Amino acid sequence: MTLKYTFPNDFWWGSASSATQIEGSDNGIKGKDIWDHWYQSEPNRFFDQIGPGQTSDFYHHYQEDIKNMKQTGHNSFRLSISWSRLIPGGKGEVNQQAVDFYRDVIDQLLAHEIEPFVNLFHFDMPYPLHELGGWENRQVIDAYLDYATIAFELFGDRVKKWFTFNEPIVPVEGGYLYDFHYPNIVDFKKAIQVAYHTMIAHKKAVQYYHGNFNGEIGIILNLTPSYPRSQHPADLKAAHLCDLLFNRSFLDPAVKGEYPKDLIELLATYDLLPQIEPDDEQLIRDHQIDLLGVNYYQPRRVKAKENLPNPASPIMPEWFFDSYDMPGRKMNPYRGWEIYEKGIYDIMVNLKDNYGNIPSFISENGMGVENEERFVNNGQIEDDYRIDFIKGHLKWLHKAILAGCNVKGYHLWTFLDNWSWMNAYKNRYGFYAVDINTQKRTAKKSAKWFAKIAEQNGFNN
Ligand code: BG6
């Protein structure tokens, strides 16, 4: 019997993680990254004063966790390789203990027929490189390329799907615009230089990989549709500018090999263009990705500016649009983010119509829930809200596939309840609950449900 929502053969069912959020930076040999440094210097900036030292200890529990992934229907799983675990100084000597750890994780995944999707950079700049200026300093790109090359050489025989960056706009927003990531700078011009260097680093890694390996390489972007309040030209323009700054600033160069002309014009008008080097244009043009990961949580809703910005104030993206709380929008009652399932369809149709229908997959989608223990019944968290959330998004993803979009899979954020950058363990996302005192793992109801739909490759209702 055919299911109402049947997904293509070999659809990727799984989940995603990042090194800092699950490994525990106090475990094993690891150099300091910006998160360790920030926590040591300002623990009060962290929720409940919990830092990255205490996380879900995947470092010691990965064998159990990978067995649980298999039980949860996974045929694929994304991890990241911590730069400062692999190369504790950021550049130079490789840490053999890290090589053994990641190799064993990858081998265990493969032994369980779970394909490893490996991401390189997930917000975790090694601190010694930060002291050189981090992504503000073009020389850091060479250190990144060494790190990428070492990772490809070490694990490229086993790993066939690579990603250069997760959500590269987030360190730009957090670290250089809105003060929620280290180094807490607020400077639009620097933010643009950082974003630009990140793109150059990405391109160099893609170039190296394509020249030496024959798997696939891509990037993971949080594509956040920016919906205008109305069809009024001023609202449409606000949404267009927001889209240029927060989505197309990475999407266009990664997929099309060029920056949008409107974006260049906007930056030129406000004297915000980054410093570029003569060979950059060709580098950007010649090295496109094979695969795009799309992280989608909630849309952005924008409207035209109500008041013109004070020309004496420092320029920020908000000079060009205002946020808009759409009346009646559906909210996640347990965290406060909007839930708009159709956004996933709109993103995919946009990729089909305007980005050559690039092979893509949902690399993160998920529902954070505060105080999730209140839903425990008979020892298990009954997270029917998460099942509904996933199902709602999968229905729209299915519709996108029927419309001809080249969608290859769906990964939930995340497998285990994990530590989050700004929220520590406040919002739980996992298929598995983790007691952070005992490290006991317990499957939530959604884990069993997901195992079933992955096994059937779809669902009816
Ligand atoms: C994504 C990141 O932006 O969202 C993850 O790739 C992050 O690292 C996830 O944890 C959920 O956000 P938060 O702030 O609720 O942890």
Nearest CA to ligand 1 atom 16: 420
Pairwise CA distance, residues 280 & 142, whole Å: 14
With a 6 A CB cut-off, is 413 part of the ligand 1 pocket?
yes
Type and span of the H or E element at 89: none
Q: What is the pLDDT along the chain (461 residues), one digit of tens a residue?
A: 799 999 999 999 999 999 999 999 999 999 999 999 999 999 999 999 999 998 999 999 999 999 999 999 999 999 999 999 999 999 999 999 999 999 999 999 999 999 999 999 999 999 999 999 999 999 999 999 999 999 999 999 999 999 999 999 999 999 999 999 999 999 999 999 999 999 999 999 999 999 999 999 999 999 999 999 999 999 999 999 999 999 999 999 999 999 999 999 999 999 999 999 999 999 999 999 999 999 999 999 999 999 988 989 999 999 999 999 999 999 999 999 999 999 999 999 999 999 999 999 999 999 999 999 999 999 999 999 999 999 999 999 999 999 999 999 999 999 999 999 999 999 999 999 999 999 999 999 999 999 999 999 999 98
Calculate how far, in angstroms, residue 158's C-alpha sits from the geometric centre of ligand 1. Answer: 27
Calculate how far, in angstroms, residue 55's C-alpha sits from the geometric centre of ligand 1. Answer: 14
With a 6 A CB cut-off, is 167 part of the ligand 1 pocket?
yes
Distances (CA, A) of 128 to 23, 171, 402: 21, 17, 48
Pairwise CA distance, residues 400 & 97, whole Å: 43
Mutate which of 50, 78, 120, 413 for ligand 1 pocket (most atoms within 8 A of beta carbon): 413
Calculate how far, in angstroms, residue 41's C-alpha sits from the geometric centre of ligand 1. Answer: 23
Quick one: tokens of 158? 């086993």
Query: How is 120-146 classified by DSSP, letter by letter?
Result: EESS--BHHHHTTTGGGSTHHHHHHHH
Q: Residue 18 CA: which ligand 1 atom is closest?
A: 8
Calculate how far, in angstroms, residue 107's C-alpha sits from the geometric centre of ligand 1. Answer: 26
Bridge-based pairing of strands 369-370 and 427-428 is: antiparallel
Calculate how far, in angstroms, residue 181's C-alpha sits from the geometric centre of ligand 1. Answer: 12
Calculate how far, in angstroms, residue 401's C-alpha sits from the geometric centre of ligand 1. Answer: 26
Mutate which of 117, 170, 364, 419 for ligand 1 pocket (most atoms within 8 A of beta carbon): 364
pLDDT recorded at residue 352: 98
Q: Residue 123 CA: which ligand 1 atom is closest?
A: 8
Nearest CA to ligand 1 atom 7: 420
Query: How is 167-184 classified by DSSP, letter by letter?
Result: -THHHHHHHHTSSSSTT-
| 3-class DSSP assignment, residue 200 | helix
Bridge-based pairing of strands 432-434 and 441-443 is: antiparallel
Calculate how far, in angstroms, residue 419's C-alpha sits from the geometric centre of ligand 1. Answer: 9
Pairwise CA distance, residues 350 & 374, whole Å: 39
ipTM: 0.97
- Residue 130 CA from chain centroid, whole number: 21
Nearest CA to ligand 1 atom 2: 167
Nearest CA to ligand 1 atom 12: 420
Residues facing residue 338 across a β-bridge: 331
With a 6 A CB cut-off, is 368 part of the ligand 1 pocket?
yes
Calculate how far, in angstroms, residue 238's C-alpha sits from the geometric centre of ligand 1. Answer: 26
Mutate which of 421, 426, 428 for ligand 1 pocket (most atoms within 8 A of beta carbon): 421
Peptide bond into 327 cis (omega under 30): no
Q: Residue 413 CA: which ligand 1 atom is closest?
A: 9
Q: Residue 167 CA: which ligand 1 atom is closest?
A: 6
With a 6 A CB cut-off, is 80 part of the ligand 1 pocket?
no
Q: Residue 222 CA: which ligand 1 atom is closest?
A: 3
Cβ atoms of 443 and 451 within 8 Å: the answer is no
pLDDT recorded at residue 1: 74
Query: How is 251-310 classified by DSSP, letter by letter?
Result: HIIIIISS--HHHHHHHHHTT-PPP--TTHHHHHHH---SEEEEE-S--EEEE--SSPPP
Q: Residue 420 CA: which ligand 1 atom is closest?
A: 16
Pairwise CA distance, residues 355 & 254, whole Å: 10
Calculate how far, in angstroms, residue 86's C-alpha sits from the geometric centre of ligand 1. Answer: 23
With a 6 A CB cut-off, is 166 part of the ligand 1 pocket?
yes
Q: Residue 368 CA: which ligand 1 atom is closest?
A: 15
| Catalytic (active site) residue 455 | no
Pairwise CA distance, residues 14 & 34, whole Å: 29
Pairwise CA distance, residues 6 & 178, whole Å: 42
Query: Angle 257-78-335 (CA atoms, 0-180°, nearest 5)?
Result: 95
With a 6 A CB cut-off, is 55 part of the ligand 1 pocket?
no
Distances (CA, A) of 358 to 120, 256, 290, 303: 21, 10, 7, 30
With a 6 A CB cut-off, is 427 part of the ligand 1 pocket?
yes
Per-domain boundaries in the chain: 5-459
CATH class of the domain comprising 5-459: alpha beta
- Which residue out of 173, 341, 364, 372 is catalytically annotated? 364
